Amino acid sequence: MGSSTDHGGAGWRGKKQGSQLWKKALLHSSLCFVMGFFTGFAPSSVSDWTSAAAAAGSSSSSSHVVRALPAGGALNRSLLAHGAGPGYDRAASPRPLLVVVTTTESTPVASGERAAALTRTAHALRLVAPPLLWVVVEAAPDAPATARQLRATGLMYRHLTYRDNFTAAGAGKERHHQRNVALGHVEHHRLAGVVLFAGLDDVLDLRLFDQIREISAFGAWPVATMWRDEREVVVRGPACSSSAVTGWFSQDLSDGTAAAASTTSTARARPSGEVDVHGFAFNSSVLWDPERWGRYPTSEPDKSQDSTKFVQQVVLEDLSKVKGIPSDCSEVMVWHVDTAAPSPSSPQNKRR
């Protein structure tokens, strides 16, 4: 009897344990089903943005584009640089890429001011609607400090360096060399967009950036040039009829006199020398124009081989391709502080 009772209790306990295991398995399966069901309705933005950021990072290494990602919104800024972030609808309002070229100097005095000037320029460019690519060019020894600073700007940029040596007296030649380095990079990588030269000493009206996006070939505007430690302000630029450029003028605002280089409606009117690089922008496709190399006689090779001189020359060849900015060229939107020593032909030296 006792043995029979023990076997019966063991069987009852075995059935009870089996029932509990079955219930646990059923509950586990039900929970997995419910979680999987509701996961299907969950937004996929996190995974999508993560993959987009990974794709952006992989493209950086291949195309040499460096994107600075600020804290607290790095993914937003990275995608915004591609025109895919909030506030920019490519289908509704496509904008051409702006390629802003900034040159620096490697002199000891300039090196001490570079960080402040880069910070000022970066904050201005952050106010410009994307897409925008900031091309900063400088000598190789100065690169490490600038690279750290550029990474914190939140802008899409390319940092170009060179190993050529320039003396303090050759600051103008160094800037010219830097512009050629930048234009060579734009041409080599076929960066389609509107190219603008913006120096660290320049002050630009934000409205200018919106207007130059409409440039199909060239655009030009008046520039107010000031000399450091000199009471001198000279405005130079295109003379316009509506938005059509008819000539070029130069006006000294220091004493109210004007010296007109040409204010006539003649299409061949030119400034006295090369057009100021701070006063025009151009479509980058000009750089890989198939007719570029056959445009000039072989006796003038620099005009084709020197990219900066080339675009300065082309902008003067056919004024019908130059868009006046603003529409009547009556407003100064760029102020340039010239830190170089005045030349003997400059207005302030002529008065002395």
Binding-site entries for Mn(2+)? 201
Alpha carbons 331 and 213: distance in angstroms, whole number? 18
Query: How many CB atoms sit inside 10 A of residue 86's CB?
Result: 8
How far CA 210 is from CA of 124, 171, 194, 207, in Å, comes to: 14, 31, 11, 5
Alpha carbons 302 and 299: distance in angstroms, whole number? 9
Alpha carbons 348 and 337: distance in angstroms, whole number? 15
How far CA 332 is from CA of 1, 73, 150, 336, in Å, comes to: 114, 36, 29, 11
Alpha carbons 104 and 171: distance in angstroms, whole number? 9
Token pair listed for 127:
């106010």
| Residue with token string 């509704």 | 92
Query: How long a stretch of residues is the chain?
Result: 352
DSSP class of residue 278? G
- Residues making up the annotated binding site are 201
Token pair listed for 119:
């910070």
